[in-house]
Amino acid sequence: MCLKRPVIFLGPPGAGKGTQAKRLAARCNVPHLSTGDMLREHVHKGTELGRKAKPVMDRGDLVPDEVVLGMVEERISRPDSADGFVFDGFPRTIPQAEKLDQILHKRNFAAPLVVNFQVSNDTLVHRVAGRWVCSVGGEIYNIYEHPPKKPGFCDNDGGALVQRSDDQVEVVRERLAAFEKQTQPLIDYYRAKGNLDEVDGSANVEEVNRRLVEILTRHGADGDCA
């Protein structure tokens, strides 16, 4: 399958955006661009950007728009982004969305398809509190719904599973509040442009994936490779 339009997954933390974005990107052979992962990599490497972003991320607040936009513009100018990409966790604010529209237009990409993941707050807190991530390949597990075969280790590469420092319940509530305040207006922004569809993200991974493929097909966002 090929992507005919860039895809954006919108939704609160724990909605399943990362899991689904990884699958879709692998299937279409395009990059999965998670601004959260990019920022965590900066933190991990101890870059200047990472040192500035860490306290903001640990509080559950949003990193400044210009920092995130600089990272994204650099990333989508690389050759492996030429056939499209799947955004996860970006854009988060209206200025980010407006600037992204300009960048996509400048680079001759089609208008993005935006899919909003809908999941109740109780389910989100439960999911995020049970989330463990492979420290090697980034595979995402959930100890309740999608546990690894061997506790603490990744099924794919045997990497140790770790919990994100911002996945503690109090920080999750902060992140949900930040999402509602700053990201909710994006839903209106994209709806007004006619780029938005919604998926019920409360089902299991396979079922949400099936629904997403239907949505992509309906909006002409996927197709056979030429």
Which residues make up the interface to ligand AMP (CB under 6 A)? 13, 35-36, 39, 56-57, 60-63, 68, 89-92, 96, 166, 175
CA-based max dimension of the chain: 48
Phi and psi at residue 168, in whole multiples of 5°? -80, 150
Give yes or no: 210 in active site.
no
Catalytic residue among 27, 164, 173, 191: 164
75 has catalytic annotation:
no
Q: Is 210 helix (H, G, I), strand (E, B) or coil?
A: helix
Beta carbon of residue 220, minimum distance to ligand AMP (angstroms, whole number)? 26
How far is residue 198's CA from residue 149's CA, in Å, rounded to a whole number?
Answer: 32
Q: How far is the CB of 36 from ligand AMP (least distance, A)?
A: 2
17 catalytic residue (yes or no): yes
CB of 41 to ligand AMP, least distance (A): 11
Nearer to ligand AMP, 176 or 199 (CB): 176
Residue 13 or residue 84: which is nearer to ligand AMP going by CB?
Answer: 13
- Asked if residue 129 lies in contact with residue 74, where contact means CB atoms within 8 angstroms, the answer is no
Q: Provide the CB-side half-sphere exposure for 26 (13 A, CA).
A: 8
Nearest to ligand AMP of 124, 222 (CB atom) = 124
Nearest to ligand AMP by Cβ — which residue? 36
**Burial zone of 169 (CB within 10 Å; 0-12 exposed, 13-18 middle, 19+ buried):** exposed
